[in-house]
Amino acid sequence: MLRRIRKWAGLSISPPSPPPEDRPRTPAAHEPVDVTDAGFDALVLQADKPAVVDFWAEWCQPCTIAAAYMGFLCEEFGDDLLVAALDVDENPEIPARYQVMGLPTLIFFRDGAEAERYTGLLEYDELRRKVEQLLAAQPAP
C-alpha cells in the first residue's frame, strides 16, 4: 500500500542514491569539538594549546546561547585555542570529576590543568577577554 501511495504522489520508490564520493568536499570551518568521557584526557588535558570546554545539556536553554558563543570563539581563536563541548547527560564522569554543578559551565585549561571556570551565561565580550588572558599567559614557543 505504501508503495502505491508513494508512486501516486510521485515519490521515488527506491531510496535516493548517495552522492558521488569524488565530489570535492569543503573543509569545515572552525567548530567546537565534541568531547566524551573516554576522549577528554587525550583531547583536552594533553592538548598542545589552551582549551575551553563548554559543559552543556540539551534541555538547558542558556546552553544554546553559550554554544553559539563557542562557535564565535572558534572563528576568532580557532588556531590558538581548542574549543570543546561536552554533553553532561551523555558523559557524566568528567562533569563529576570537575564538580560541574550548574549549566552552562565553561572551564578553561592551560597545560592540562584547570586555569579558570565560569558557571552561567557569560557575555561574549567578557568571554573573549578571558580567552585573550588565557592565551596571553601562554609561554612563547
> Considering 33, 44, 63, 82, which one is annotated as catalytic?
63
Write the pLDDT tens digit of every residue in 83-137. Answer: 999 999 999 999 999 999 999 999 999 999 999 999 999 999 999 999 999 999 8
Rg (CA), the chain: 20
> CATH for 30-136, among 3.30.565.10, 1.10.3720.10, 3.40.30.10, 3.40.718.10?
3.40.30.10
Distance CA(72)–CA(49), nearest Å, equals 18
pLDDT the model gives residue 138: 72
Write the pLDDT tens digit of every residue in 24-75. Answer: 333 355 799 999 999 999 999 999 999 999 999 999 999 999 999 999 999 9
> Considering 35, 53, 60, 106, which one is annotated as catalytic?
60
- pTM listed for this prediction: 0.78
- pLDDT band (50, 70, 90) for residue 19: very low
Question: Given a cut of 60, is residue 79 above it in pLDDT?
Answer: yes
Q: Is the peptide bond before 18 cis (omega within 30 degrees of 0)?
A: no
The residue type of 90 is E
Distance CA(16)–CA(127), nearest Å, equals 44
Distance CA(84)–CA(105), nearest Å, equals 12
pLDDT the model gives residue 29: 53
Distance CA(127)–CA(119), nearest Å, equals 12
Q: Is 63 a catalytic residue?
A: yes
CB within 8 Å of 44: residues ≥ 6 apart: 35, 51, 53, 82, 84, 109
Question: Given a cut of 80, is residue 4 above it in pLDDT?
Answer: no
Q: Where are the beta strands (DSSP E) in the chain?
A: 33-34, 51-56, 82-87, 105-110, 113-119
Give me the torsion for CA of 21, 23, 26, 27, rounded to 10°: 30
Residue whose entry in the numeric block shows the C-alpha cell 612563547? 140
Q: Is 74 a catalytic residue?
A: no
